[in-house]
Structure 1
Amino acid sequence: MGGTPGPVYAALHGPLDRELGALAAQEGLPASMVRRLLRHPVARRTAARLRRDLTGEQTEEIIALGSARPLAANPWVPAPVKARLARHPEPAVRCAAAAGATDEPPGLLARLAGDPDPLVRAFLTMNEHLTADLMARLAGDSDPMVREWLPRYRRDAPPAVRRALFTDPEPGVRRAALAHWSPPAELLSSLLTDPQTRVGAAGHSAPTPELARDPDPRVRTAVAAHPDLPAALHDLLAQDPDTLVRNEIACRTDTPPALRERLTATLTPRDPAEAFLLAHRGHTCPQPPPAPPALTREQAQALLARAGL
């Protein structure tokens, strides 16, 4: 039997659950063994989400046993099954389908863009099969949450969609656009003067003494992180009264080691939130644990027997 895909089992609870989840993701299992694993809820959800070789009978059993949501998130499920799950009465299932369905049958994605639940429409912004027309439709969605999610997942949005969100009446939408896209030059000035978007716009603006002395420390932090920070402003911000601004200067690769050492000695957080931000600035997530070795047929049979499957 073949190897295992990614280590989703690491997030499962209990040693036996982890073992069964890993087995359910293992490639090359005979259909009879997969069928036995579907009787265990953790293994069933793992198989529904990750297996590429689910049969029609197994798919029907997964749905009947209440695991339609992970099945809808499986990118290898046939398009007709995705289309069926996109009509599921539970919004959570439709959300999972919306994130990864192709437009089969044609018009499926447009129908999901009109789903009555705004969370389903928000999940649709994750879908890599969206056309420019559908992105424009979502950019005009009545729910601001949908419009806020669009910049996060659609870095490839066309200019007209970006402009619509940079000029959206909701400040949260404009801030989301600034967090993920560079604004057109002709809009930058108005975004900088708007108190609701000044912080986000500062990261896209050329560093200036005015911005480096802004009363809002978040603006000064954005200036301190700018890749083209002039030396004079670098020195100015290294003396900033705000801990997070000085930390940003300390994190820069162009900060001399001696100055970085002096700055680091001053980085004493004043509250738990600041301590959290300092701890995670430049943090690199640990690598996921390695996948366990694939079980042999005999080992898999023994595990299933131990689990009463």
Structure 2
Amino acid sequence: MSLEAEPSALAAQKDLAADLVWRLLRHRETRRAVALLREDLTEAMIEEIIALGSARSLAANCSVPAEVRARLAEHPEPAVRCAIAASVADDPPGLWVRLADDPDPSVRMFLAMNDHLAPELPAGLAADPDPGVRSSIVDHWRDAPDRVRRALMTDPVPPVRRDSVRNYVPPADLLPALLADPVTRAAAVGHTAPSPELAADPDSAVRVAVADHPDLPAGLRDQLAQDPDMFVRNAIAARPDTPPALRERIVATLQTDNPVAGWFLAYRRDPNVGGTPPPVPPILTREQAEALLARADL
């Protein structure tokens, strides 16, 4: 662990003496870690964190008292209000409504991510004039009622329509129009039977969706295994029902000089390609913690 990372890891250590926490507040990065992660912040520490400009990190800490979070919901910086909106309870009552009326759409977008909202609030956000807010509702309100889903799947803004079809099961009566719409066709493919026409669609995203279809016939699988687009071929290679010999032949064709594309292709076939998570930082004694802070000039 690097010298810079060690003090930030110390910021999350339970039962850390208060005087050591105060020392961590001296540096911006360690102060942010303290503000975000600690559950034992005193009123004086909270005031110091706000005064030193780390209110955004503090706003994302769900252990901060409700009255402090309500106060931060009025902060002049939208980023602070966003952090509050994403997880705050309606305490005091009316806080959600105030955030739903925030003039900055980014705050309303983050409010749409909040898992604790009363049912009437997501419905209002689903009709928000800002398309980013409506898209955020699509991503986070998975049990939206039918009337809301229909409105979002026929939204005038293309990304909202596309994301809606990706996240909701389309009603049967809307499916033909969604398949005819170039914006939503790829997302709608999974809700219809694969066909030779879809497997030959000029949009490679549609062909990838066909390649991912759980009921893909062997004939279309073999056709898409020779697709000119390597991401379509890779989708076939990633299927559990693709014969090993065919998979090997496909993988041999997936050569790219782009390391990001190469990683994505490999990850698609094996999600474990990302490696193991970093080790949990060790718990330090007071003596070790003091030595660490001294080395970091804290």
- Calculate the TM-score normalised by the size of structure 1: 0.89
Q: Kindly tell me the number of residue pairs found equivalent between the two proteins.
A: 296
CA distance in 2, matches of 1:269, 1:155: 37
Q: Deviations over 1:132-158 (max 9, x none)?
A: 211111111111111112222333433
2:144 to 134, 157, 180: 157
Q: How does 1:60-71 map to 2 (within 5 A)?
A: 60-71=47-58
Q: Which residue is 2:276 aligned to?
A: 287
Residue 103 of structure 2 aligns to a residue in which SS? Answer: coil
Matched, 1:247 2:234: yes
In structure 1, distance between residues paired with 2:50 and 2:259 = 45
The alpha carbon displacement at 1:55 in A equals 1.3
Alignment match of 1:298 (pick from 277, 287, 298): 287
Distance (Å, rounded) in 1 between the aligned partners of 2:43 and 2:230: 58
**Which of 177, 180, 189 matches 2:167?**
180
What is the match of residue 264 of structure 1? 251
Specify the alignment match of 2:131 in structure 1. Answer: 144
**TM (normalized to structure 2)?**
0.92
Q: How does 1:1-309 map to 2 (within 5 A)?
A: 15-269=2-256, 275=262, 277-282=264-269, 283-284=271-272, 285-309=274-298
SS of residue in 2 equivalent to 1:281: helix
Give a deviation string over 1:26-60, Cα, whole Å, max 9, x none: 11112222122112211110010011111111111
Higher relative contact order (CA 8 A, sep 6+): 1
Distance in 2 between residues matched to 1:271 and 1:36, nearest whole Å: 44
Q: Supply the distance in 1 between the matched residues of 2:7 and 2:276 (Cα, whole angstroms).
A: 22
* CA-CA distance at 1:272 after TM superposition: 8.0
Query: What 5-or-longer segments of structure 2 have no aligned partner?
Result: none
Instruction: Sort the Cα spacing of 1:260 and 1:67 in 2 relative to 1 into closer, same or farther, 3 A.
Output: same
- Aligned partner letter, 1:110: V
Q: CA deviation at 1:251?
A: 1.1
1:137 maps to amino acid? G
Letter of the 1:302 counterpart: A
Mapped to 2, the partners of 1:305 and 1:241 lie a distance apart of: 59
Distance 2:119 2:141 in 1: 10
SS of residue matched to 1:52? coil
Alpha-carbon shift at residue 186 of structure 1 (Å): 2.2
Instruction: Identify unmatched segments of 5+ residues in structure 1.
Output: 1-9
The alignment partner of 2:90 has SS state of coil
Shift, 1:228, TM fit: 1.6
Aligned equivalents of 2:190, 2:259: Cα separation in 1: 25
Deviations 1:79-103 (A, max 9, x none): 1111111110001100111111111
Cα pair distance change 1:281/1:54, threshold 3 Å: same
User: Deviation string for 1:245-285 (max 9, x for gaps)?
Assistant: 22211111101111111222223459888656534424433
Q: Is residue 207–residue 223 contact of structure 1 (8 Å, CA) maintained in 2?
A: yes
State the distance in 2 between where 1:233 and 1:253 align.
Answer: 15
Q: Please give the alpha-carbon distance, in whole angstroms, between the structure 1 residues aligned to 2:64 and 2:192.
A: 45
Deviation at 1:239, TM superposition (A): 3.0
CA RMSD of aligned residues (A): 2.0
Give the whole-Å Cα distance in 1 for the aligned partners of 2:290 and 2:228: 64
Worse overlay, 225-234 or 73-82: 225-234
Following superposition, the deviation at residue 72 of structure 1 comes to 0.2
**In the aligned structure 2, how far is the partner of 1:143 from the partner of 1:257?**
48
C-alpha offsets along residues 156-179 of structure 1, whole Å, 9 cap, x if unaligned?
Answer: 433333222111111110111122
Per-residue CA distance 1:170-197 (angstroms, 9 max, x = gap): 1110111122222222222111111221
